[in-house]
Amino acid sequence: MLERLRFESELELLISPSVAQAQRAVQRPTPFPVVSATNRTIFVPETEPFTRLPSQVRTAAIDELKRLYDFVGRTKSQKIRVSLLEPAKFPQAFAFSDAVVVLIASAAALQANVTDALRRQGQNASFALGQRNVTFANPFANPPKRPIKPETIGLGIGDKRIQGGRAFPFMAAYVALDEVMSELVAEADSRIHAAKVRKRRAGPEINAKYWGSHQALFDTAILSVLDNPRDPTKWLWGVRLFGQMIGRAMAHEVRHVYVGAGHAAQGLGADGPPLAISSSGSFSIADRRAIANAIAALERRQRRVPVVPTNPSGQAFPF
């Protein structure tokens, strides 16, 4: 008798938790991940063409992006973090103080990438809310009436909104590798008189004195860029600068995510900043203040409002 009782209670234990769990799953889906308003992270997906770049270029790009946003916050916990991650490791939800910036191969695809990224984020938000029986119409379901005009090097947009007591961190920032590459090649071209150098090297007056000179080494390095304008793995000059230029272009587009479409009067936040020269190597003082204020304002808007996942598990990576 006792044996039987024990058996029955064990049976009940075996059955009831799963029944209770199933009931709870219907009534109460898992809560949305909590996202701190002051998360302050710039995410860079580890995808092609970024992963195909020489490691020196990749390191210089991430270091430069980090350096350019180092003015935000005083203490370590207030600093902006830069996080290079595989798409599968991205968080499900983002803070208003976060940004995502993606390197793509060609400027021709900038507009399509931004349009798709926003549409997928809206779709994912609809899916996440649909699981809790909340209807949310994707605001980016149809392509925009007025096409978004990309700038030469990239395109960045922030559309972070509060709706129905929920926070939607819609955003998109893309940088075109082919444009940064062209700028680096143009910079290399400005350093020597390539036609003259080539003629000298082919001509009869070429001598041992030239080949032993620093100038010959420098010419060789510059020509390695000019002769392989689309293959950075062959470059003997400008490798670190190239990485820095990618980081600068990323920082410029991330700025648009935070402050909107306008441009600064000077520095890296200006319209079409030349990426190779050091005066564009940082944001102006006034622009830094504007960016820091914009991030603080975004954090105040998000505060304790629950954030809707725009990258929920099981759905398409939106960026």
Contacts of 181 (CB under 8 A, 6+ apart): 229, 230, 232, 242
Minimum distance, C-beta of residue 247 to Zn ion, in the bound complex (Å) = 15
Provide the mask over 16-55, with x wherever binding to Zn ion is found by CB under 5 A and - wherever it is not. ----------------------------------------
Distance between CA atoms of residues 94 and 106, nearest Å:
27
Minimum distance, C-beta of residue 256 to Zn ion, in the bound complex (Å) = 6
* Residues 128-157 within binding reach of Zn ion (CB under 5 A): 151
How many chain residues interact with Zn ion (CB under 5 A)? Answer: 1
Minimum distance, C-beta of residue 264 to Zn ion, in the bound complex (Å) = 9
Element containing residue 82 per DSSP (H, E): strand 81-85
Cβ proximity to Zn ion, 14 vs 277, nearer residue: 277
Q: Which residue is nearest to Zn ion (CB)?
A: 151
Minimum distance, C-beta of residue 187 to Zn ion, in the bound complex (Å) = 20
Sheet holding 154-163, edge to edge: 102-104, 166-176, 154-163
Alpha helices, DSSP H, located in the chain: 2-27, 55-68, 110-130, 177-191, 194-202, 208-211, 214-226, 239-259, 285-302
Cβ proximity to Zn ion, 163 vs 279, nearer residue: 279
Cβ proximity to Zn ion, 151 vs 287, nearer residue: 151
Contacts of 292 (CB under 8 A, 6+ apart): 71, 72
List, in sequence order, every residue forming a beta bridge with 102; answer none if it has no partner. 174
Tell me how far apart the 2 most distant CA atoms of the chain are, in Å. 111
Cβ proximity to Zn ion, 98 vs 151, nearer residue: 151
Minimum distance, C-beta of residue 94 to Zn ion, in the bound complex (Å) = 21
Q: Which residues of this protein are in contact with Zn ion, per CB under 5 A?
A: 151
